[in-house]
A and B are shown apart, each in its own frame.
Chain A
């Protein structure tokens, strides 16, 4: 990877991380406020109390997994290795 390619990749990763944040915020709103009036109960708790805590947590873990699988790429961090390839 050249320096330029690395930077493009890093920008992409940062942008998608920001996107994941946005998606998580939307999910968070829905899982808490959105479900607050649902009458259902789980483990003796109103549905929203479960989805907005453990639900958001699990959702965040899934998001990170997706990021790592589809967006994040391994790259050499040391200068020399990158420099050899593009003189």
Chain B
């Protein structure tokens, strides 16, 4: 079954990908008329049109990556309930970003006709240099993250179906590039919604079959209690250090509110009722996914009873579990979940990376020269940018160079270090100024990458603690050294009582 390639495993995946591409073309068709008027806004942000349910789903799906579905539960297999305890901090991610930035960004984007987070940064700090730096950081880190998502998905595909890595990449990788390019943000949001739903179905399906294979819940639990009592302790007999709990709060909880791919969703929704609804639905869904998949990982320890080395590392636990517990006819359904997590993250990043190049760099340069590119030209360039980034990342993922892994290691915390204080203080603190923002973004990111690159830690904590602290200090330093922004600009952002 696993050597020749499992044809039954391909069919559901093919159908799913066909539906995703279909959505891309459908959105294109429906929006074709509207595309004429304000193409950039339509393509990159879906014309402020998302309802609460879709907003919640697209935010969750972009946030939940393939590693939440493969590496994470693999760790849960090893650590036990301490891992769920740590992963559950992610229930904060959705309501924090939408609650803190959702309305702020929505109002500002309408005021300035902004389509990207960088647009808002440019307006707030009146700095093209800062905006370009932000766009550069976004494109660099996003490309590395997308590559990692491609690789994670394709590896899972190969391990589970028995087909080659390249074939997996071709199957789902090209699909995501095609539908994102064709349909833009609106297609991303709709496909994300399908992906989030299918992820939840996948979790339930896998959990059910793990329970079945393990001889029922009480049997599995008795087995775990007997053989791995440490899995029932928060520190997992020393496998789960206390410092990890702290840094996870910062890294995957609190600081994720500044990730540009999440914040940009604040520009995209229709009205505040949708935002409120999305905060609730998003919290429900992200909690369900995190607890569900990691709980499944723990239970899988009652089915895969060997030691970790015999499975070749935590990343192989979930693929092995799928192959072991699922009937061959259902394997295809079971891998759609993790692959959906992978493509929904890729599509979300791809459209933002493309908007950084077209809106933040190209269009801005054109406007500065006093030129206004025609709609036809913009449409062509926008799709071209999306397709080119997608294809380049796809090709890199075929044989990823080690440099990509290094950049990817920096990506998540690097983005947080770069954007956290700049957005939080920039949007809520009148005094925050250009020098502070530049120092914070540039200096903080450099400090973070350097300390991580050299493996330097304070008290054994993840470098995000250093990065986020340095970034704050740089921000305050710059703010008090530099001069405040122009009153006129500030009044746009922080209106006076009588206006």
Residues of A within 8 A of B (CB): 2-4, 6-7, 10-11, 13-14, 17-18, 20-21, 24-25, 28, 32-33, 36, 43-46, 48-49, 52-54, 56-57, 60-61, 63-65, 67-68, 72-75, 77-79, 86
Task: Give the shortest distance, in Å, between B265 (CB) and chain A (any CB).
Answer: 14
* B41-60 near A? 1/0 per residue, CB < 8 Å: 00000001000000000000
The contact of B221 among A24, A44, A77, by CB within 8 Å, is A44
- Which residues in window 9-52 of B have CB below 8 A to A? 48
Residues of chain B within 8 A (CB-CB) of A48 are: 81, 85, 234
Which of these binds chain A: B103-111, B121-129, B312-320, B335-343?
Answer: B103-111
Which of these binds chain A: B270-278, B361-369, B436-444?
Answer: B270-278
Is B480 on the interface with A (CB-CB < 8 A)?
Answer: no
Residues of chain B within 8 A (CB-CB) of A78 are: 110
B283 adjacent to A60 (CB under 8 Å): yes
Residues of B within 8 A of A (CB): 48, 81, 84-85, 88-89, 91-92, 95-96, 99-101, 103-104, 106-107, 110-111, 217-218, 221-222, 225, 232-234, 249, 254, 271-273, 276, 279-280, 283-284, 287-288, 291, 295, 428, 494-499
Residues of chain B within 8 A (CB-CB) of A73 are: 272
B100 adjacent to A14 (CB under 8 Å): yes
A17 adjacent to B96 (CB under 8 Å): yes
Q: Mostly helix, strand, loop or mixed at chain A's interface?
A: helix
| A2-B499 CB under 8 A given contacts A10-B103, A44-B218 | yes
Residues of chain A within 8 A (CB-CB) of B496 are: 4
What is the chain B residue whose CB lies nearest that of A69?
B276
The contact of B110 among A49, A61, A74, A79, by CB within 8 Å, is A79
What is the chain B residue whose CB lies nearest that of A55?
B88
A2 to B81, CA, bound (A): 49
Residues of chain A within 8 A (CB-CB) of B283 are: 60-61, 64
Query: Which 7 pairs from chain A and chain B are nearest by CB?
Result: A17-B99, A57-B287, A3-B495, A49-B81, A44-B221, A60-B91, A52-B85
A28 adjacent to B428 (CB under 8 Å): no
A11 adjacent to B428 (CB under 8 Å): yes
A13 adjacent to B88 (CB under 8 Å): no
B499 adjacent to A54 (CB under 8 Å): no
A2 adjacent to B495 (CB under 8 Å): yes
What is the chain A residue whose CB lies nearest that of B491?
A3
Residues of chain A within 8 A (CB-CB) of B92 are: 21, 24, 60
Residues of chain A within 8 A (CB-CB) of B89 are: 28
28 pairs across A/B with beta carbons < 8 Å?
A3-B495, A6-B495, A13-B100, A14-B428, A17-B99, A21-B96, A21-B254, A33-B234, A44-B221, A44-B222, A44-B225, A49-B85, A53-B295, A56-B88, A57-B288, A57-B291, A60-B92, A60-B287, A61-B283, A61-B284, A63-B95, A64-B279, A64-B283, A68-B279, A68-B280, A77-B110, A79-B110, A86-B499
B217 adjacent to A6 (CB under 8 Å): no
B85 adjacent to A14 (CB under 8 Å): no
| A36-B233 CB under 8 A given contacts A4-B497, A77-B110 | yes
Task: Give the shortest distance, in Å, between A60 (CB) and chain B (any CB).
Answer: 4
Task: Give the shortest distance, in Å, between A83 (CB) and chain B (any CB).
Answer: 9
The contact of A61 among B287, B295, B498, by CB within 8 Å, is B287
A57 to B291, CA, bound (A): 9
Residues of chain B within 8 A (CB-CB) of A24 are: 91-92
The contact of B91 among A6, A57, A67, A68, by CB within 8 Å, is A57
A20 to B94, CA, bound (A): 13
Residues of chain B within 8 A (CB-CB) of A67 are: 95, 99, 279
A53 adjacent to B291 (CB under 8 Å): yes
What is the chain A residue whose CB lies nearest that of B233?
A36
Task: Give the shortest distance, in Å, between A54 (CB) and chain B (any CB).
Answer: 6
A53 adjacent to B88 (CB under 8 Å): yes
A53-B81, A72-B272 provided; 8 other pairs, C-beta below 8 A? A14-B100, A17-B99, A44-B218, A57-B91, A60-B91, A72-B99, A74-B273, A77-B110
Residues of chain A within 8 A (CB-CB) of B95 are: 17, 20, 60, 63-64, 67
A30 to B447, CA, bound (A): 34
A3 to B497, CA, bound (A): 8
| A32-B234 CB under 8 A given contacts A4-B497, A53-B85, A79-B111 | yes
A7 adjacent to B99 (CB under 8 Å): no
| A7-B84 CB under 8 A given contacts A17-B96, A57-B91, A78-B110 | no
A77 adjacent to B81 (CB under 8 Å): no
A36 adjacent to B234 (CB under 8 Å): yes
A14 to B200, CA, bound (A): 30
Task: Give the shortest distance, in Å, between B151 (CB) and chain A (any CB).
Answer: 30
B232 adjacent to A46 (CB under 8 Å): yes
Residues of chain A within 8 A (CB-CB) of B271 are: 74, 77
